[in-house]
Amino acid sequence: MTTEILRDLAARAVPARRVVDAVKRLRWALPLAIALTVVVHQAWESLAYESWSPAQRFLEGVLIYGVVGPLVTYWTLDWIARAIETREAIEARVRRGERYLASITSGSADAIFSLDTEDVVQTWNRGAEEIFGYPPGSIIGQHVGVLVPESLRRRGDLASIRDRLFADGFVRGYRTRRLTHDGREVDVELTQTLLRGEDGGIIGSSVILRDETDRIAAETAIRRLNQELEARVAERTRQLEAAGTALRANNDALVAANHELKQLDALKDEFVDLVSHELRAPLTNINASVELLLSNGMPDGARTKLEIIGHEASRLTRLVQGVLDISRIGAGRLKLLKAPADPADLCRTALMQLGAADRDWRVHIAPGTPAVMADADRVVQVLGNLLSNAVKYSPAASRIDLTVGPAPGGADVLFSVTDQGVGIPAEEVDRIFERFHRVERHDARETYGHGLGLYIARKIVEAHGGRIWVETTPGAGATFLFTLPRAPEEP
Ligand code: ADP
């Protein structure tokens, strides 16, 4: 059908029409003009011929029959030849275009076919053959209704397409279904255009059907994937919300537990404070009374018992003091009253408070040792603890060294207490400064302490900005060392 339209167009090309018309007119006009010219010429000649000389007659004959006649003939034939050439060139171009268009149409993967005014199939390309399974021979001449599924036919699918076609001249992007030769239904997108003849009258329509099966399948798959994804996201969101709720609940529980713990802690502090104070007062009284009784002279048996009472009361006093210190440290209430202090004074006070002990004491204060910036009572407490440990864990009459001097580096003052006692096993060295940690020794001395002294000593030294550590050889004694910052020099 396309081919016919193109041939039509070519035939209607302007030069071709003009050639035909002009040749038609020339067919009559040329003989008539020649006849008229001959008549005029002969008439004129019969009137004027006698007066002309032979040369004039010769020239006139040559002009009329030898020049004007051949010129008119040449011009006419030349015009016709050029017109025919132009027409042939146009026809050749149209034929090329026609072949090109025909190959596009026939090679297209879309179904392209034409219908006459009664919707009877006129042409059928290869795409149509592949999609619908009809060879051209079996479909050309059939009504296009064979391609419409029964259900759509009943709903007036073809009629509605025709209505739109005649109203607008074309139908575009119309989604519908069509029936194949073997009875399958195919989703298609239809584009149909009215075709008009030379005189403008409708001669049929062209139809393009695009197979949409793959696209629709892909769209369906994408939609399904989307739904799956949405479901998964919704599920995850639900899980996250549940986890969030659980976390919030846990958090609330933790906050409540923390609150409870704080209350318990406060209660414990209160309790420790109360008990320590309540214990300290009677213990002080017991200690004072024992000392009084002992100094007033006692029978030997009673004296020994009183000494035991005094010793145990002192132990209890130290324990109470330790527990009180620990409670203050835990609550961050360890307050230091720092002032410049002379290391020699600190050592003297600590030794005096320790009292008599059967040891070979060696005290060495290096000349020029500077004052330290410290809470004197607390430093005496640390020194007292280290000295009493040295006594506790070393044999009678053994040597104990208390040495003080500038620390290497110069910014601090270094204190050290060295005994010749049992020493500390290597695996315990890092732990003896922990709260309530005691080295298992399986001897009577074990009952002497509570594992509080070194912990408190470390806290006090660190609160001063110093450091405490131990150097020991098990079985050959231990050296406890600590540093304190030197006091700023007085102007
Ligand atoms: P305690 O009251 O038990 O002596 P400390 O905190 O003062 O508590 O000491 C912790 C542990 O360190 C002690 O149980 C002891 O085993 C060990 N220790 C401390 N000083 C010495 C020392 N001079 N020689 C050997 N062991 C020591």
* Alpha-carbon gap, residue 326 to 304, rounded angstroms: 33
Structural domain includes residue 368: yes
Question: Which of the residue ranges 4-18, 190-204, 276-290 would you say has the lowest mean pLDDT?
Answer: 4-18
pLDDT band at 3 (very low <50, low <70, confident <90, very high): very low
Burial class (CB in 10 A: 0-12, 13-18, 19+), 7: middle
If asked whether residues 83 and 9 sit together in one domain, one would say yes
Are 167 and 309 contained in the same domain?
no
Cα gap 306→312, rounded to integer Å: 10
What is the average per-residue pLDDT within 383-410? 94
Q: Which residues contact 359 (CB under 8 A, 6 or more apart)?
A: 390, 391, 394, 396, 397, 398, 399, 400
Q: Are residues 346 and 378 in the same domain?
A: yes
The predicted-structure confidence for 115-146, as pLDDT tens digits, reads as follows 999 999 999 999 999 999 998 889 999 999 99
Q: What is the mean pLDDT of residues 295-314?
A: 80
| Mean pLDDT, residues 338-361 | 93
Q: Quickly count: other Cβ atoms within 10 Å of residue 372's Cβ.
A: 25
The confidence score (pLDDT) of residue 442 equals 65
User: b/e per residue, 229-254, with b = 16+ CB within 10 A?
Assistant: eeeeeeeeeeeeeeeeeeeeeeeeee
Provide the residue range defining the domain that includes 23. Answer: 2-106
- Residue 448: the pLDDT is 62
Would you state the pLDDT for residue 1?
A: 44
pLDDT of 88 strictly over 90: no
**Phi/psi at 214 (5° precision):** -65, -45
Q: What are the φ/ψ torsions at residue 337 (nearest 5 degrees)?
A: -105, 90
Give the least confident one: 188-202, 326-340, 348-362. 326-340
**Is residue 152 a contact partner of residue 177, using CB atoms and an 8 Å limit?**
yes
The residue whose CA is least distant from atom 20 of ligand 1 is: 389
Tally of domains in the chain: 4
**Structural domain includes residue 182:** yes
Question: Is the minimum distance from the CB of 433 to ligand 1 under 6 angstroms?
Answer: no
Angle, in degrees to the nearest 10, between helices 69-107 and 14-48: 170
pLDDT at residue 385 in the model: 95
Kindly state if the Cβ of 479 falls inside 6 Å of ligand 1: no
Please check whether residues 358 and 479 belong to one and the same domain: yes
The terminus-to-terminus CA distance of the chain in angstroms comes to 120
Cα 446 to ligand 1 centroid, rounded to whole Å: 9
Residues 363 and 286 in one domain: no
- Decide if 453 is inside a domain: yes
CA distance readout (Å), 121 to 108, 141, 156, 324: 18, 5, 19, 111
Q: With respect to residue 261, please indicate whether it lies within any of the assigned structural domains.
A: yes
The last residue of a domain, from among 88, 106, 124: 106
Residues 116 and 99 in one domain: no
pLDDT band at 337 (very low <50, low <70, confident <90, very high): very high
Expressed in angstroms and rounded, the spacing between residue 425 Cα and the centre of ligand 1 is: 11
Asked whether residue 491 is assigned to any structural domain, the reply reads no
Mean pLDDT of 376-391: 96
Q: Return the sign of the alpha-carbon dihedral for residues 287, 293, 294, 296.
A: positive
Question: What's the gap in Å between 315 CA and the centre of ligand 1?
Answer: 15
How much is the pLDDT for 8? 53
Residue-averaged pLDDT of the chain: 87
Res 316 pLDDT > 70: yes
User: Among the three residues 176, 211, 246, which one is the final residue of a domain in this structure?
Assistant: 211
CATH number reported for the structural domain that contains residue 453 in this entry: 3.30.565.10
Residues 114, 251 share a domain: no
* Cα–Cα distance, 464 to 326 (Å, whole number): 17
Q: Considering only CA atoms, which residue is closest to atom 8 of ligand 1?
A: 451
In this structure, are 400 and 459 located in the same domain? yes
**Closest ligand 1 atom to Cα of 417:** 23
User: Is residue 57 scored above 90 in pLDDT?
Assistant: no
Burial of residue 161 (CB within 10 Å: 0-12, 13-18, 19+) is buried
**E strands present in 235-291:** none
Answer yes or no: is pLDDT of 4 > 70: no
Lowest mean pLDDT among 13-22, 115-124, 145-154, 183-192: 13-22
Task: Determine the distance separating the centroid of ligand 1 and the alpha carbon of 433, expressed in angstroms.
Answer: 9
CA–centroid distance, 388 to ligand 1, in Å, is: 9
Same domain, 193 and 149: yes
- pLDDT tens digits, 419-437: 999 999 999 998 999 987 8
Query: In angstroms, what is the span from residue 382 Cα to ligand 1's centroid?
Result: 13
User: CA angle at residue 376 from 373 to 380, to 5 degrees?
Assistant: 125
Q: Cβ-count burial of 287 within 10 angstroms (0-12 exposed, 13-18 middle, 19+ buried)? A: middle
Mean pLDDT for the stretch of residues 106-120? 91
For ligand 1, say whether the CB of 422 is within 6 Å of any of its atoms.
yes
Sign of the four-CA dihedral 196, 198, 203, 208: negative
pLDDT of residue 167: 95
- CB of 478 within 6 A of ligand 1: the answer is yes
Q: How far is CA 3 from its chain centroid?
A: 60
